[in-house]
Structure 1
Amino acid sequence: MAKRRKVGNLLALAVLAALMQGPMHPYEIATALRGWGKDQDMEIKWGSFYTVIGNLDKHGLITAVESTREGRRPERTVYRITESGRAELLDWTRELISTPMPERPRFRAGLSVLPVLHPDEAVELLRQRLRLLEDGIATAREELERHLRTIPRLFLVETEYDLALQEAEAAWLRTLLAELTSGVYPGLDVWRAVHETGEMPPELTELAEKSRSAE
């Protein structure tokens, strides 16, 4: 079970990781995170960036070491990570790496209501997704191979993970499409009949009633 964090926004994790490189002011931190592509690794809402910085400081996970001013520019406070911040970063990372947590991608939401589509339309849409996915996989694989020529693999492990997930999804889609197009998918005839007759078969009506009564 995930721990309740003093600052639970994943942007805080990224900030702590950035400050492991050395003291920085917030603008430097944001520039580094963008340069490292952290907004592709996690959902980052830049509008909450300074709030996160303030909360990390409030809870003693980072601390101000100096303030600098250049000309008429606003004063910039330089922060460093504290020992408590290091401990939090390590503990949080260990949790994220070791403990599976439910994650609900948009595709899963679409699959959960797939029966509202006619089977033939569903097949075409799944084929379209597979084509786009295969194109994306090819591009991602080329980019990964290119990056591996200059960047240590350790710093591309999250890209490898993304590629593995995409390849697994593509393999699953191929299997699903083969079952749907060959007609061996269980319940396909009933699914088709509902859309072509507009009538719900008794077994599905009974199943829906049981689901409602169980709540």
Structure 2
Amino acid sequence: MSSIRLFILSSFAELGPMHGHRLRLVAEQNHVHLWTDITVGAVYGAMKRLAAEGLLREAGQEREGNRPTRQLYEITEEGGAALAALRREGLSDVWFKYDPFDLALTRLDSDALETLPPILTERLTQVRTLLAETKRVNEGAREYVGLAKQWALRHTEYRLEAEVAYLTDLLEAAGKIVSDERHPSPRKVKLR
């Protein structure tokens, strides 16, 4: 599932023909960077890829005042079908990425086990700071976006709140983890 493809195709379906600069302004005005992995500057290259795939097509040119002539694009029938599929995927597919943190936690340095609690404390501080900043930025954006976008913003907050809860619990267990790493009890190994 590609967030940038969904954003671009849905913007063309909603707003009609436009040039890349207008699409970039739409991305900025809709604050898409607050709840997606889209970088506003990436829309130009993605538009060109969508056009090469036949999901967008040239729809004329536009010139405003002394500005250079800009190429207009519009969504194709194939682009509409792709958009419908992306909308379904975006709402129904569950996206879960493993955090490298978990691998690092399971591969601790036996000579530096005492560093685990302070590292976890620092990570917890960073996530709490990120949560506070996210809430601050989102609060400023909420009055400018519709209800669905407000819930998209809140989704990030919920995820960060869950990370704070997890790290808080993990920090409480850090002493036991260090002890277990220093003196591991025999574990059953299941081989195929």
Shorter-chain TM-score: what band? 0.7 to 0.9
CA distance in 1, matches of 2:39, 2:132: 27
Corresponding residue SS for 2:94: coil
What is the identity, as a one-letter code, of the residue corresponding to 1:15?
I
Give the alignment of 1:134-149 within 5 angstroms: 134-149=128-143
C-alpha contact (below 8 Å) 2:24/2:40 kept by paired residues:
no
> Where in structure 1 are there 5+ consecutive unaligned residues?
3-8, 194-200
What is the identity, as a one-letter code, of the residue corresponding to 2:58?
A
- Report the equivalent of 1:164: 158
Query: Whose RCO is larger (CA < 8 A, sep 6+)?
Result: 2
Alignment equivalent of 1:191, drawn from 162, 173, 181: 181
CA distance in 1, matches of 2:100, 2:39: 18
Q: Residues 45 and 191 (structure 1 numbering): CA distance in 2 closer, same or farther, change over 3 Å?
A: farther
Deviations 1:101-154 (A, max 9, x none): 4423443454353x1263321111111111222232233334434444453331
CA distance in 2, matches of 1:163, 1:57: 35
What is the identity, as a one-letter code, of the residue corresponding to 2:165?
A
14-23 vs 137-146, greater mean Cα deviation: 137-146
- TM-score (structure 2 length as normaliser): 0.78
Q: Residues 72 and 61 (structure 1 numbering): CA distance in 2 closer, same or farther, change over 3 Å?
A: same
The number of residues matched between the two structures is: 189
RMSD of aligned residue pairs (Cα, Å): 3.2
Q: Residues 69 and 142 (structure 1 numbering): CA distance in 2 closer, same or farther, change over 3 Å?
A: closer
Alignment equivalent of 1:93, drawn from 87, 90, 94: 87
Task: Say yes or no: does 1:42 pair with 2:32.
Answer: no
C-alpha contact (below 8 Å) 1:64/1:78 kept by paired residues:
yes
CA distance in 2, matches of 1:93, 1:127: 39
- Report the equivalent of 2:25: 31
Alignment equivalent of 2:115, drawn from 121, 126, 133: 121
C-alpha contact (below 8 Å) 1:10/1:42 kept by paired residues:
yes
> Where in structure 2 are there 5+ consecutive unaligned residues?
none
Task: Say yes or no: does 1:11 pair with 2:1.
Answer: no
Corresponding residue SS for 1:116: coil
- Report the equivalent of 2:52: 58
Corresponding residue SS for 2:59: strand
Identity of aligned residues (%): 23
C-alpha contact (below 8 Å) 2:19/2:71 kept by paired residues:
yes
Which structure's CA Rg is the greater one?
A: 1
What is the identity, as a one-letter code, of the residue corresponding to 1:99?
D
Q: Residues 141 and 39 (structure 1 numbering): CA distance in 2 closer, same or farther, change over 3 Å?
A: closer
Alignment equivalent of 1:21, drawn from 11, 15, 26: 15
C-alpha contact (below 8 Å) 2:31/2:141 kept by paired residues:
no
